[in-house]
Every structure is written in C-alpha cells, then in structure tokens.
Structure 1
Amino acid sequence: MTQSKKQALIFLLTAYLLPFLLGGLIYYGKSKGLDISLLPAFQMLTPALAVSLIILNGRKERNPKVKRAFLTYVFFTGLFLLASIASLFMKNLPQNVLVIVFSLAFLVAIVSIPKDLKKAYGLDLSHKKRILGVLGIFLVLYFLRGALGSLAEKNFQEFLTYLTWNKLVFVLALVVNFPLSFIFFFGEEFGWRFYLQPLLQKKFGMVQGTLLLGLAWGIWHLPLNLFFYSAPGSGFMSLVNQLFVCVSYGIFFSFAYNYSKSIWTPVLLHYFNNNLILLFSKNMDPSIIENQVLTWPSVLVTGLLMLVFFGSFILSPYNRKPLHRRPDLEEIQEEIEKLEVPHENMEK
C-alpha cells in the first residue's frame, strides 16, 4: 500500500467510520432520553485526530515538539471519547475541566513548535491583519444573512429582540473563551481545511476540489442530522440544509485559509459561527441546535442566502487560481524532511 493510500485509509476510518459508528450510540441515547450532548462534540475532534495519527505515523524521525503537540491532541481525544460514552450513564462528569486543561495544554504545545514548522503546518500567525480582516467580513455577512433570513420568514422584529446589550457582552466573552475551548473547532478545521482541502484541490482542481470538500463535510454530519439536530421526520431536510451550509461555508473557509495562509482563520470562523447561534436563543440554551423542526421553504431560503453571501466567494482568485493552492500533507512532509534536520541537530 502506498503512503498516499495508507493516509487516505487512516482518514476515512477515523474521520468517517468512527463518527458513523458512534451515530448508533447517539440514536440509542436519544431514544432512551439520555444526555447525548458530548457525542456530537467528540465527533468534531475526529478529523484532526485522523491527521494527527497520519503525522505521527508518517515518519520515524520527527521534531519532538511537533510530536508532543499531536500526541497531546490524540491523548485528549481518547479521554474525551471515554467521557462521551460514560456521560450516557453517569451525570456531573468534569468534562468542562477536561476541555479547558487540554485546550490550554495543546495551545502551549503548539506555541513551542519552531516557527518554520508552525508555518508548514499552517499553525503560524504571520498574517494577523488578514486573519482579523476575514473574521470581520464573516461577522458582517453572518448578521446580514440572519437579518435577511428573518425578513424572508417575516420575523424580523423577533430577530431584533435577540440583539441586546447582554448578548453583546456574550460576544465579547467569546473572545476570552476561545483559548479555553478552541480544540473542538481545531478538530474539524485541521482535518477539512489543512488535510483534505489541498488534497482535493490538487486532484480535481481548485473549484471542483472546494465543492467536493463541502459535500464531504456535509455528508460527515449525517449521523447528527438524523439523530441529533432534527426533530422526528425532519432528518432528510436537515441533511439537505447541512449540505447547503457546508458547501457555502466550505467555499468561504477555503478562501479564508488560502488568503490568510493560517488554519487559525477557519478555526476562528467555525468557533464564532457555532457559538453565535446562542444569540438567537432566549435563554442562551445550547439545546437550540437539537430537535429542530424544519420546513422546505425555510431550507430553501437558508440555502439561497448561504450561497449568495458565502458561496459567491467561489469567484475569488484564492479559490480559483492554482497559484494560491495550499500544499497537501505529502508535499508538506517533504519540505519538513529538509527543515527538521537542523532542528534535530539543535536538540542534540
């Protein structure tokens, strides 16, 4: 088996098969009225888990600080899987403490990686202005899309009632909270944007690769669409809605990653997207994402607005010209072969 096929197999088994198998536990827990909220959170960790295993198994010699960072991630993911399963049968588990401790430990491990290796893995912050600029564009489009969606569904006044000063404090708190919980959003984006996006763009071209990634990302949500997000009878509509969202965001996140040259950009976008939904919950209740009752008109309105506001970035040169394609993992590892020799000598 070639190295490429081995890596693809590890990714498929870890990022896809594992979540689909755990979908059975989500279904079981939901049917029994158990707390299943940790299982979807664990699913977010699986794409980066797959890439971590690929990196750790790729070569015998590697920089110890890189190894330490990804071993930290793998260890946390294993513990969180155990906690997720245990949460079906036990209450008051200290999962928040676990998340905070390992988010900070993983962040410290990433910071310790030599600068050139951070850059190779898309982990550096060299282009801070671009990162913040893309985040600003995303937030403007996010609220504009929400406002137009509420107008289309004739509930704009209700939309305005959610935008209170208390909610503004919550948004500011999100900034402070990011280092304490970013690990889940890193979990998805390091898998989708760092690993799979360059691979698909190299094989199928910039535009086709970006669209295929959006579809692959959407289908990955299938167990959640069927057993977590949707009310009974809404599973298929939930999946269609998910495909609209993932293809559209996949296009914008692809632009964000290629433009900023940092995985932290899509991580930030994903973090704010998932957390800002709490603004539109009267009691800031995370369960707003569960048991959603959908209609075809609402799905089509959402899909159209997503494609207009975020899908239109398919026209960006950062999504169209091969010049801006990020290297895939094999190309990165070839470069790291050259970079790591000096680091290994320095360590000695």
Structure 2
Amino acid sequence: MKTNSIKIKNEILMFVSVNFIITFSMGIVMFFVYKYIDKAAISDFALVQMFYPALTAVILMISNEKNNIDRNLIYFFKIYIVLCILSMIVLLTGVSDFPQYISKILYGLICAFSIAAFYLIFNNRNNCFEKIGMVLQKNFKNVFILCLIFIGIEFVIAILNGFIYGNFIENVEKSIKLLEFLPFNLLLGILISFISFFGEEFGWRGYLQPRLQVLFGKKLGVIILGPIWGLWHLPLCFMLYSPKTPVYCLIFHIFYCTFIGIFLGLVYMKTGNLWSTIIVHLINNYMASGSGNANNIVFTPEILILNIAVCGIVFLPFIFTKEYRKKSSRRTCEFYS
C-alpha cells in the first residue's frame, strides 16, 4: 500500500509539473508576442492550451503503463499527440508568418481530428476506451440528467446575475436564446470539437482527480484539484480574460474552478463516463461565449466577491451529495484496479 501511495504521489507530481511547464512555456511566448499580434489571435493560445492536460496524461500513461494499454488505445493516444504537436507548431509559426490564418487552421485540425477520434471511439469493438472512461453510451441516462441539471444551474446563475447587476430581463432573454440553439450546437460540438474538451477533462478529471481522491479522499481530493486547475489559467488571465485586472481574474478562477470542479467531480464519479464532463464543459463554454462574458473582463473587488458568491451558492451544495459520502466511486474503484 505504501509503495502504491508513493507511485500515485509521483504520478501527481509529474502530471502537475509537466502540465504547468508546457502551459507556462507557451504562456511566456504569448507574453512576448502579445503586443504585436491581433488580440483575436490570443484566443488561439487559449484554444491550444486546452490540449495540454490530456497531452501530459497521455505521455505519462504511455511511459508508465504501455504494456497494460490496448494497442487501439495507444493508436488513439498517438493521434492525439500528433494533433497537439501540429497545433503548437501552427501557433508558434503562425503568430509571425500567418496570424490571420491561425484560427482557421486550428479549427480545421480540431474538426478533422475530432471526427477521426469519434470514429475510433464509436467503433470501440474490444471496449478498450473503457480504460479512459470514453464509452458514449455508458450510464447515458445519468449523463443526460446531469447535463440537464447543469443547464438549469447556468440559468439560475443568469437569474442571480440579473438581480445583482440590474439587467434581469436582458440576462434571462439572452439565456433563453442561447438555450434555443443549444441542442444543435451541442451535437455539432460533440462531433467536430470534442477533442478540445477531452484535452482538459481527461487531464483534470480522468487522470488527476482519481489519484488525488485515493490520497486525500473524495471531497478533499476534488477540492485540492480546484486551485491547481485555477492557477493553470494564469497566462490567460493576464493576457486574454482580464488584462486590466489579471490578479482579480486569477483569484476568481481559483474559486470558480474549485466550485465547478465539485460539480464536475460529482458528474464523473456518478457516471464513470468522461463524455459527461466533456459535454458539461462544452455547455459551460458555449453559454459563457454566447453571453459575451468570456474575455477582456474588468473586475472590481465588488464584482469579484459577488461572482465568487454566486458560484459558491450554486455549486458548493453538491459537495454534500450522496456520491461524495460513498466510500469509493465507480472511477476510483477502476483506478485502484
């Protein structure tokens, strides 16, 4: 048991170290080119950054568990590594040579690789993708219900923000309009862009969460994951999300990632299906971008406190759900084995 504990600690340390080294190295590049490129191109750094957590997890799994991984899954991992390398090359060369085409090329790569990966996963004849929780039909009813709950949460957040900032009717109307197009955009997003959300969710939920939970327990493991995930957003807080108030932005992300991480952790434990958190993450980003509240935000102390309070109100209660009281979750049991 002690040997296993040391192994898990080393895996956590390696994951966090490699993930942050890649992220912050690209963040340094972003810092140096920030003043010389179109601000829209900064969003491309955010897009590619989504790949890094899963890239780190994939590299570590191939290094440590290659003999225990099915060759079809290894093939999928290699495809993902190729996507990451190509995307980073496009980003690094494009900022100086073809900045106006970076987004088009990246979205083309994401679309092509998402469709190819979706085909591989859908034709999962030997069930090898169960190892990483990527079985689309697994616990589908729970996945569907939890996604509906999250949509409800997003609507509640819009209502609370409307009361706080005095734009209740505008917020509700905007949310309803976004929800009208959500089914189509969600299905399309799953097909042509899920690989981006896999990038974050496999890294944070699929790889890091079960390891932290083995060491610290289900509640504390998820809570520890939150600040790590929040700090990972540091380069984006300084150059994309809130260049004028980056420190407040980073503080918000630490709290926000902790709070929403409680819900995402619950979703993953309840379903044992990584698709569930990928879809929730996709819905979250769609609602945020559609509401126009994603980039160039200016935080004040009052806005920071109110936003943290709203997120805490809607997400914190999930830490007291039955799934967090159980001795072991579906995914934690599978990680043990």
Length-normalised TM-score, structure 1: 0.86
Question: For residue 48 of structure 2, what is the aligned residue in structure 1?
Answer: 42
Describe the superposition over 1:286-342 as per-residue Cα deviations: whole angstroms up to 9, x where unpaired.
xx52221111211211111111111210001212322226238863xxx5xxxxxxx
> Out of 265, 282, 290, which is 1:271 matched to?
282
Question: For residue 24 of structure 2, what is the aligned residue in structure 1?
Answer: 20
Distance change in 2, residues 1:9/1:148 (3 Å): closer
Letter paired with 1:320: R
Structure 1 residues 94-173: aligned runs within 5 Å: 94-124=105-135, 125-163=137-175, 165=177, 168-169=180-181, 172-173=184-185
Distance change in 2, residues 1:154/1:38 (3 Å): same
Instruction: Report deviation, 1:10.
Output: 4.1
Q: Take 1:69 and 1:8, find their aligned partners in 2: how far apart are those partners?
A: 23
Larger CA deviation: 189-198 vs 300-309: 300-309
Structure 1 residues 315-326: aligned runs within 5 Å: 315-324=320-329, 326=331
Q: Name whichever structure is richer in helix by fraction.
A: 2
Question: For residue 80 of structure 2, what is the aligned residue in structure 1?
Answer: 73
After TM superposition, what 4+ stretches of structure 1 lie above 4 angstroms from structure 2? Answer: 1-6, 163-167
Letter paired with 2:280: L
- Maintained 8 Å contact 1:11/1:51: yes
Question: For residue 253 of structure 1, what is the aligned residue in structure 2?
Answer: 264
Instruction: Report deviation, 1:167.
Output: 6.7
Structure 1 residues 289-304: aligned runs within 5 Å: 289-304=294-309
Is residue 248 of structure 2 the alignment partner of residue 237 of structure 1? yes
Describe the superposition over 1:125-164 as per-residue Cα deviations: whole angstroms up to 9, x where unpaired.
3200000000000000111111111211112132134246
Distance change in 2, residues 1:249/1:115 (3 Å): farther
Larger CA deviation: 10-19 vs 135-144: 10-19
Larger CA deviation: 158-167 vs 65-74: 158-167
Question: For residue 87 of structure 1, what is the aligned residue in structure 2?
Answer: 94
Instruction: Report deviation, 1:3.
Output: 5.3
Question: For residue 315 of structure 2, what is the aligned residue in structure 1?
Answer: 310
Instruction: Report deviation, 1:123.
Output: 1.3
Letter paired with 2:43: S
Q: Take 2:188 and 2:295, find their aligned partners in 1: how far apart are those partners?
A: 26
- Maintained 8 Å contact 1:29/1:88: yes
Instruction: Report deviation, 1:206.
Output: 1.3
Question: For residue 341 of structure 1, what is the aligned residue in structure 2?
Answer: none
SS in 2 for 1:87: helix
Letter paired with 1:294: F
Q: Take 1:171 and 1:15, find their aligned partners in 2: how far apart are those partners?
A: 33
Length-normalised TM-score, structure 2: 0.89
SS in 1 for 2:101: coil
Letter paired with 2:11: Q
Q: Take 2:335 and 2:173, find their aligned partners in 1: how far apart are those partners?
A: 50
Distance change in 2, residues 1:329/1:222 (3 Å): farther
- Maintained 8 Å contact 1:230/1:290: yes
Is residue 226 of structure 2 the alignment partner of residue 211 of structure 1? no
Distance change in 2, residues 1:137/1:248 (3 Å): same
- Maintained 8 Å contact 2:269/2:323: yes
Instruction: Report deviation, 1:86.
Output: 2.3
Larger CA deviation: 28-37 vs 97-106: 28-37
Q: Take 1:142 and 1:308, find their aligned partners in 2: how far apart are those partners?
A: 12
Q: Take 1:224 and 1:268, find their aligned partners in 2: how far apart are those partners?
A: 22
Instruction: Report deviation, 1:215.
Output: 1.2
Instruction: Report deviation, 1:276.
Output: 1.4
Larger CA deviation: 67-76 vs 49-58: 49-58
CA RMSD, aligned part only? 2.2
Gaps of 5+ in 2: none
Larger CA deviation: 301-310 vs 186-195: 301-310
Gaps of 5+ in 1: 282-287, 336-348
Distance change in 2, residues 1:132/1:223 (3 Å): same
Distance change in 2, residues 1:26/1:141 (3 Å): same
Question: For residue 342 of structure 1, what is the aligned residue in structure 2?
Answer: none
Paired residues in the alignment total 325
Letter paired with 1:19: T
Distance change in 2, residues 1:260/1:297 (3 Å): same
